[in-house]
């Protein structure tokens, strides 16, 4: 059995430069496709193409309702998009939820766990049959103080 080839680990500067150029071209291509699909898909949403391979278009959106709507009406949008030259082999649309950017200020506001919560976690850990999960719960209770 042959070993997988890691394209991104190379000691040759030319290979690294070629990989970066290839990735840059791929991202630029996805940006062009994003501009094409944006007005055609359910609004208001900022859709982003993240992959288009073998007839499968993978896009992301931030609004779960819009993602669900696109999922229900997928055949309609596949038919509509496949009329364009860029999507002539389109067979399926995969939609993923994209998380919104969280401001750093809100990430740093971690409140300490109360003693009552710590005790509840310690008690819960005693009832868990899985030793690794039980230990993880104990670790959580002891780390956040």
Residue 13 has pLDDT above 70, yes or no: no
What does the domain layout of the chain look like in residue ranges? 13-100, 110-143
92 pLDDT higher than 90: yes
CB under 8 Å to 91, separation ≥6 — which residues? 55, 56, 78
Class of domain 13-100: alpha beta
Look at residue 25 in the predicted model and tell me its pLDDT.
Answer: 86
Euclidean distance between the first and the last CA atom of the chain, given in angstroms as a whole number: 50
Give the pLDDT score at 58: 93
């Amino acid at each position: 059995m042959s070993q997988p080839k890691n394209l991104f680990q190379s000691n040759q500067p030319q290979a690294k430069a070629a990989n970066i150029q290839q990735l840059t071209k791929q991202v630029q291509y996805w940006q062009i496709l994003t501009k094409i699909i944006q007005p055609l898909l359910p609004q208001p949403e900022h859709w982003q193409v993240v992959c288009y391979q073998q007839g499968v278009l993978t896009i992301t959106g931030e609004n779960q309702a819009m993602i669900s709507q696109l999922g229900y009406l997928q055949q309609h949008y596949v038919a509509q998009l496949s009329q364009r030259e860029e999507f002539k082999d389109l067979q399926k649309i995969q939609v993923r939820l994209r998380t919104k950017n969280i401001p750093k200020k809100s990430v740093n506001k971690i409140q300490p766990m109360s003693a009552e919560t710590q005790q509840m976690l310690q008690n819960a850990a005693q009832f868990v049959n899985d030793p690794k999960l039980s230990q993880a719960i104990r670790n959580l209770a002891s780390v956040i103080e």
